[in-house]
């Protein structure tokens, strides 16, 4: 998980963004982490959360909608996720802010690597306008998937840009 903590008591309007790879819903001990992740997002007072490896409705997750369950536990709404029928590894955006629009796209990868990118346009309220949030889990497959992410980001960009995700790179 990555975040920069800004106290809410500063008097400034802040938007807290949290990014978390949930590893298909289990912690390193193999225990379900749904409610702990939800509680963590609530405790951090996250306004926006990017989750990777949410794996919608997978057997390993007990065929439950993991991102939806975390959103309920955190008191947030599921702003964007790939459709259940698309069988992706899953990325999701959760939000406390009003969702104006959202979408998703499958990334070009090899067999069995069903990754996606999700995006949402959120109203920041208080005269702050809107933000476009993009969430993705990039692997080591090269530049093709990164170009798709760039294209999605540019295509849907409105207002303040925000990209969250997990980015892996091996070698030089």
The pLDDT, as a whole number, for residue 152 is 66
Any idea where the domains of the chain sit in the sequence?
15-167
Q: What is the pLDDT of residues 152-172, one digit of tens each?
A: 666 666 666 676 665 555 444
Give the DSSP letter of residue 43. H
Q: What is the pLDDT of residues 104-150, one digit of tens each?
A: 877 766 555 677 788 899 998 878 888 888 888 776 555 666 676 66
pLDDT at 2 over 60: no
| CATH number of the structural domain 15-167 | 3.60.10.10
| Kind plus residue range of the DSSP H or E element containing 150 | helix 143-156
The pLDDT, as a whole number, for residue 96 is 94
**Is 112 in a helix, a strand, or coil?**
coil
Cα-trace Rg, the chain: 16
HSE-up (13 A, CA, CB side) for residue 25: 23
**Residue bearing tokens 């938007």:** 15
| Kind plus residue range of the DSSP H or E element containing 50 | strand 48-52
Sheet containing 77-81: give its strands across. 17-21, 48-52, 91-95, 77-81
pLDDT at 49 over 90: yes
Q: What b/e sequence results for 103-123 when a residue is b if at least 16 CB atoms lie within 10 Å of its CB, and e otherwise?
A: ebbebebeeeebbbbbbbbbe
Q: Is the pTM of this model over 0.75?
A: yes
The pLDDT, as a whole number, for residue 19 is 87
The pLDDT, as a whole number, for residue 171 is 47
Q: Name the residue among 81, 35, 33, 41 with its Cα closest to residue 60.
A: 33
HSE-up (13 A, CA, CB side) for residue 14: 15
Spatial separation of the C-alpha atoms in residues 13 and 28, rounded to whole Å: 36
Q: What is the pLDDT of residues 19-44, one digit of tens each?
A: 888 877 777 888 888 889 999 999 99
């Amino acid at each position: 998980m990555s975040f920069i903590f800004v106290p809410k008591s500063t008097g400034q309007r802040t938007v807290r963004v949290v990014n978390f790879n949930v590893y298909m819903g289990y912690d390193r001990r193999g225990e379900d982490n749904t409610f702990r992740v939800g509680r963590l997002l609530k405790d951090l007072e996250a306004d926006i959360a990017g989750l990777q490896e949410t794996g919608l409705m997978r057997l390993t997750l007990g065929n439950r909608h993991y991102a939806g369950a975390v959103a309920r536990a955190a008191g947030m709404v599921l702003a964007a996720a790939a459709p259940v029928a698309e069988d992706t590894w899953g990325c999701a955006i959760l939000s406390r802010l009003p969702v104006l629009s959202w979408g998703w796209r499958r990334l070009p990868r090899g067999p069995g690597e069903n990754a996606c990118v999700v995006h949402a346009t959120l109203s920041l309220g208080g005269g702050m306008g809107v933000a476009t949030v993009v969430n993705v889990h990039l692997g080591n497959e090269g530049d093709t998937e990164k170009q798709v992410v760039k294209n999605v980001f540019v295509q849907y960009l409105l207002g303040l840009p925000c990209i969250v995700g997990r980015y892996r790179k091996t070698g030089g």
